[in-house]
Amino acid sequence: MTPLDGIPSQRHPDAPHLLTPRAQRTLEAIDGRTLDEMRALRDETERFMLRYKFGMDEVITKLSILREEFSQNHDYNPIEHISSRLKSLDSVIAKMQRKGIEPTFDTIRDTVTDIAGVRVTCSFVSDAYRLAELLTEQPDIRVLKVKDYIAEPKENGYQSLHLIVEVPVFLSTGAHPVAVEVQIRTIAMDFWASLEHKIYYKYDRQVPQELLDGLTDAAHTAAELDSRMERLHREVHGAPVHRRGTIAI
Ligand code: 0O2
């Protein structure tokens, strides 16, 4: 008698086997208690990840409200596009391994602050800072970390404003603070970052030096385009009111 006995098989007799014979034997060898523990772990993992999804939803709602309000009350909209993603559990565990930390729910919560990620693209650099201020000034948002790769681009040319914010998620068990990474950048920065990401993926991180140099050069061109577009925008709309690099933690 195996733990799977008594569980009706979902597989049609003619359907192809999804498990290898070895995997099937391993599954059949698992005792009932281990199976219960595996189910409990699965449920806890789902609950853990769900909080990050809710945190992400909260931040998206805040940004969407700002976007709609700007469209209604101002003569232009600082947000071009909002996207989001939840890091896969595999990527979370891989990140913990890279950091050399044993992955438990507590250590993951303390170490991996980009499980929930929201990316916002803006037309202008001033919009990116303005939006960061409007978001981080909200009383229920706590800023955990700011990485300003716009003021100080990475060596490869990567530019973006990264905020790690903590937002409360209200569940039946009370309020739970959840960390969300918000990346804010211009369309030009986003174009560059997605191309660079694709190139890294295509070359499995072993990108030829010539291409790396080309990418760094393209990042400078993108930054120059951003400055020129901002100057033209200012001529039409006047100087924006923003305080670069002043987001309080
Ligand atoms: P994905 O798939 O986008 O999530 P830390 O979290 O502080 O321990 P980390 O993760 O290096 O250290 O933080 P950092 O520097 O803030 O970068 C996090 C994310 O920024 C990355 O997430 C990328 O999305 C983006 N990023 C950072 N540097 C680059 C870069 O050089 N090129 C591109 N295209 N994106 C970059 P992930 O987890 O790498 O990937």
154 CB near ligand 1 (under 6 Å): yes
Label residue 166 by pLDDT band (50, 70, 90): very high
Q: What is the pLDDT of residues 26-79, one digit of tens each?
A: 878 888 888 888 888 899 999 999 999 999 999 999 999 999 998 888 777 889
117 CB near ligand 1 (under 6 Å): yes
pLDDT over threshold 60, residue 8: no
| CB neighbour class for 80 (10 Å; exposed up to 12, middle 13-18, buried from 19) | middle
The answer to whether residue 145 is domain-embedded is yes
Residue nearest to atom 18 of ligand 1 (CA): 114
Q: From the CA of 182, how far away is ligand 1's center (Å)?
A: 11
CA distance 103 to 48: 13
CA distance 181 to 166: 9
Q: From the CA of 73, how far away is ligand 1's center (Å)?
A: 34
CATH number of the domain that residue 157 is part of: 3.30.460.10
- Is residue 166 within 8 A of residue 141, CB to CB? The reply is yes
pLDDT of residue 240: 65
Average pLDDT, the chain: 88
Q: What is the pLDDT of residues 179-215, one digit of tens each?
A: 999 999 999 999 999 999 999 888 888 889 999 999 9
Quote the pTM value. 0.85
- Concatenated DSSP letters for 220-247? HHHHHHHHHHHHHHHHHH------TT--
Q: At what angle do helices 32-73 and 125-136 cross, to 10 degrees?
A: 120
24 contact partners, CB below 8 Å, separation of at least 6: 17
- Is residue 123 within 8 A of residue 149, CB to CB? The reply is no
Q: What is the pLDDT of residues 125-161, one digit of tens each?
A: 999 999 999 999 999 999 999 999 999 999 999 999 9
162 CB near ligand 1 (under 6 Å): yes
Q: From the CA of 173, how far away is ligand 1's center (Å)?
A: 32
pLDDT of residue 175: 95
The answer to whether residue 17 is domain-embedded is no
Query: Which is the closest atom of ligand 1 to the Cα of 183?
Result: 20
The answer to whether residue 24 is domain-embedded is no
The answer to whether residue 85 is domain-embedded is yes
pLDDT of residue 28: 81
pLDDT of residue 241: 55
Residue range 13-27: mean pLDDT, rounded: 73
156 CB near ligand 1 (under 6 Å): yes
pLDDT of residue 245: 57
Of residues 225 and 36, the one with the higher pLDDT is 225
Q: 């005792």: which residue's tokens?
A: 31
Domain carrying residue 143: 37-237
Residue range 166-180: mean pLDDT, rounded: 96
Tokens of 64: 């969407």
The answer to whether residue 133 is domain-embedded is yes
What are the DSSP E strand ranges found in the chain? 79-86, 116-122, 142-148, 161-171, 174-186
Label residue 244 by pLDDT band (50, 70, 90): low
In the chain, how many domains are there? 1
Q: From the CA of 190, how far away is ligand 1's center (Å)?
A: 13
Question: In residues, how long is the chain?
Answer: 249
148 CB near ligand 1 (under 6 Å): no
The answer to whether residue 18 is domain-embedded is no
The answer to whether residue 44 is domain-embedded is yes
CA distance 1 to 20: 20
pLDDT of residue 15: 55
The answer to whether residue 169 is domain-embedded is yes
